[in-house]
């Protein structure tokens, strides 16, 4: 059984916050902080879509090759 501290995770940090609101979202495989409402929402949407793709492949993040990771994050972000 794997220790949660050894688990690979996405970290999203937004720097465009001007409203003073502190945004923090944690989920399976990701931790998001900061950003404007729009930026934080986009990071969350991308992280959730990434997790869905990861689940469909039946893999953990640390099992992905760099190429698989790049392709999946690009697809999840819509770019």
Segment 10-59, tens digit of pLDDT: 999 999 999 999 999 999 999 999 999 999 999 999 999 999 999 999 99
For residue 10, CA distances in Å to 3, 7, 20, 44 come to: 17, 10, 24, 11
Question: HSE (CB half, 13 Å, CA atoms) of 32?
Answer: 20
Q: Would you state the pLDDT for residue 1?
A: 46
């Amino acid at each position: 059984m794997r220790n949660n501290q050894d688990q690979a995770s996405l970290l999203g940090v937004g720097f465009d916050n001007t409203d003073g609101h502190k945004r923090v979202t944690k989920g399976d495989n990701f931790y998001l902080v900061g950003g404007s409402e729009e930026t934080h929402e986009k990071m969350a949407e991308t992280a959730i879509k990434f997790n869905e793709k990861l689940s469909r492949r039946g893999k953990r993040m640390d099992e992905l090759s760099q190429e698989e990771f790049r392709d999946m994050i690009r697809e999840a972000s819509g770019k």
